[in-house]
Structure 1
Amino acid sequence: MPLMPGAEPYRHDGGETGVLLCHGFTGSPQSMRPWGEYLAERGLTVSVPLLPGHGTRWQDMQITGWQDWYAEVDREFRALSERCSQVFVMGLSMGGTLSLRLAIQHGAAISGLVLVNPSVKADGLQIKAVPVVRHLVPSVPGIASDIALEGSEEVGYDRTPLHAVYSLTRLWRVVRPALPQVTQPLLLLHSRVDHVVHPSNSAVLLSKVSSTDVTEKVLERSYHVATLDHDAERIFSESYAFVQRLSAVKEGTSGG
């Protein structure tokens, strides 16, 4: 099945500090690529994998689950760890959920987490009905492009496959009880107005993790896909400053 234009994985071979960027549910690396390119231009080694079932057509996602998505980011993390002396993990939405799972599983091997509008729980009656409804209705309207910036669009599905939604709810059930095992430095950026992931997800996350180095930033001008929205540049610069503070990276360095 051909990829949607812009949905290709992105990788850049830079210095000794690596960054894994995880895209969101029904999305693609396109939502993370400007962020990845920003970090690559500053000398970091960057990987933005395409999650299984994403970037083609929603029917392909219907036969995948959270274990498949997690296996892909886990594989990329291990590859970066072999190549780099330090690895940071960053994620948007479900990519943030997968990042948390990596942090729980890999502990101190991850130097820090940057999460943008991560999800850790079900909100609303509709999603709570998914375990039953998914057997009757294969998909519902999509969630892509919740963006305030006019003219900015996310490459993602226009339908949301409900079997995959159900699997996402199972991922939340695995990650949320284990949040106290998250101890890494954490930079959390969340939108005040988000039509996909309720901001209360960030409050739950902050109340449960054991990290002592925690920075919370509220994005006032962006909706859910903040990496393509008004606050994108702020996300990029704050994440790079976070990496700089926790590593030996120097401005403008490259190579390695």
Structure 2
Amino acid sequence: MQTGRIATRVLGSGPPIVLTHGTPTSSHLWRHLAPTLAETHTVHLWDLPTYGDSEGENPTIAQHAATLAELVDRWGLERPTLIGHDIGGATILRAHLLHGTPAARIALLDAAVLAPWVTPVAQHMQRYEQAYRTMPVHVFGEIVAAHLRTASVKPTEDVYLDHFAGEAGRDRYLDHVHGFCEDDTEPVVAKLAEIEVPVRVLWGAEDQWLSADTGRELAEAIPGAEFTAVPGAGHFLPEDAPGELAALLRDWLNDWLSD
């Protein structure tokens, strides 16, 4: 289990949903979606270790998945719906497929699962990590802001930049990047065909980090998975199209409840 405090929050009542954000965001990503889902479900939100208000160390997908598996067990959830964005998608799949975390349904949003998912910017930071760690913080902040502007159609970078301010924020961001490793998703990809629960793959049609073609390929690798590309949305789908995303997920979940 991850050492350090993990920030969590629960909304609503009904069948359980667990929302898992990706990088470089936090559970704040779900602020538009969670209240809608909470009208009919119990929604569990959490911040990945070292993200948002969570503490911890070793921020890798492998560690995130182990933490999620323990959280679901501690919460006593028998068959929650697991919804994950970006590396949060890989996290929920790894928890389900490698740790045996139960799931009634799975939704993957612009999920970082199929290689290559480490962006060229992140690859450059990994290659020259020491140079970035000694870079003046105002210069580093401009680089991060420019990168975040490519993640969404709507301006959203300011929502997350505060977490990466100053020397501590710069190091936190680079700790996250240091932890990106496609070895963590290889065993997940190898087991995609073993998924037996309904899966919905939702993608921003204008995603500049992971193309919609990647989403289609991911859906094709999972038995019976449905794929939908959302027009006018980028990688940060919950930021760019919260209303449409909420409607798609609500209809999907309600169809399940009425079965």
Letter of the 2:253 counterpart: V
Corresponding residue of 1:188: 201
Contact 1:20 1:47 in 2 (8 A): yes
Question: Where does structure 1 lack aligned partners over 5 or more consecutive residues?
Answer: 1-7, 250-256
Q: Which residue of 1 aligns with 2:47?
A: 50
Distance 1:71 1:216, change over 3 A: same
The change in CA–CA distance for 1:126 and 1:72 in structure 2 (over 3 A counts) is same
For 1:254, the equivalent position in structure 2 comes to none
Of 216, 222, 233, the residue aligned with 2:233 is 222
Percent identical among aligned pairs is: 15
Amino acid at match of 2:88: G
Length, aligned pairs only: 234
| Farther-moved stretch of structure 1 (192-201 vs 22-31) | 192-201
**Structure 1 pair 151–31 and aligned structure 2 pair: CA distance change class (3 A):** closer
* Mapped contact 2:18–2:45 kept (Cα < 8 A): yes
Q: Is the 8 A contact 1:10 1:29 kept in 2?
A: no
What TM-score, normalized to structure 2? Answer: 0.75
TM-score, reference length from structure 1? 0.76
Which amino acid in structure 2 is aligned with residue 198 of structure 1? S
Pairing 1:125-144 to 2, within 5 Å after superposition: 127-128=122-123, 132-134=127-129, 137-138=132-133, 141-142=143-144, 143-144=147-148
Determine the structure 2 residue equivalent to 1:147: 152
Query: CA 1:26 to 1:200, structure 2 compared with 1: closer, same or farther past 3 Å?
Result: same
> How far apart, in 2, do the equivalents of 1:94 and 1:134 lie?
20
The one-letter code matched in structure 2 to 1:226 is: L
Residue 197 in structure 1 maps to residue 210 in structure 2? yes
How far apart, CA to CA, are the structure 1 residues paired with 2:67 and 2:155? Answer: 32
Alpha-carbon distance in structure 2 between the residues aligned to 1:151 and 1:206? 27
1:20 and 2:8 correspond: no
**Does the residue aligned with 1:235 lie in a helix, a strand or coil?**
helix
The answer on 1:236 being equivalent to 2:236 is: no
Q: Which has the higher contact order (CA 8 A, sep 6+)?
A: 1
Pair 196,86 (structure 1): closer, same or farther in 2 beyond 3 Å: same
- 2:177, 2:45 → 1: CA distance? 22
The DSSP-based 3-state class of the residue aligned with 1:46 is strand
Q: How far has the Cα of 1:90 moved from its partner?
A: 0.3
Aligned residues: CA RMSD: 3.2
CA offset digits 1:70-96 (Å, max 9, x no partner): 23322232244x25x541000111111
